[in-house]
Amino acid sequence: MSVRAEATPNPNALKFTSDKLIFEGTNSFSVMPGNKSEHAILNDLMELDGVDNVFGYQNFITVNKKFEVEWDNLTQTVIKVIEGYGY
């Protein structure tokens, strides 16, 4: 299992890429505060303290954090959730 965190142009967003396909097909999935997804992995990420919203497509999930949260405190937790699903 290998999940890589990659910077994006938005300092409040990191892209977490897996070597495995997470989402089948060509649809993307996003979850905003107060919403739920058909994908448990996205719902679990939304429940993490400091996560504002998530976006998933094929082999990656982009996590947007709340402004006041530091990535140092969140990155490893996000990776553990994704790896917990076998990615």
pLDDT at 58: 98
Report CA Rg, the chain: 12
Q: What is the pTM of this model?
A: 0.95
- Residue recorded with tokens 């089948």: 24
pLDDT in tens, 3-60: 999 999 999 999 999 999 999 999 999 999 999 999 999 999 999 999 999 999 999 9
Residue ranges covered by each domain of the chain: 3-84
Chain centroid to CA 83: 11
Residues of 39-59 as b/e, b for ≥16 C-beta within 10 angstroms?
A: bebbebbbebebbebbbbeee
58-73 pLDDT tens trace: 999 999 999 999 999 8
Is the confidence at residue 1, as pLDDT, over 70? Answer: no
Per-residue confidence (pLDDT) for residue 73, from 0 to 100: 84
Whether domain 3-84 has CATH 3.30.1370.70: the reply is yes
Give 23: exposed, middle or buried? Use CB within 10 Å, 0-12, 13-18, 19+: middle
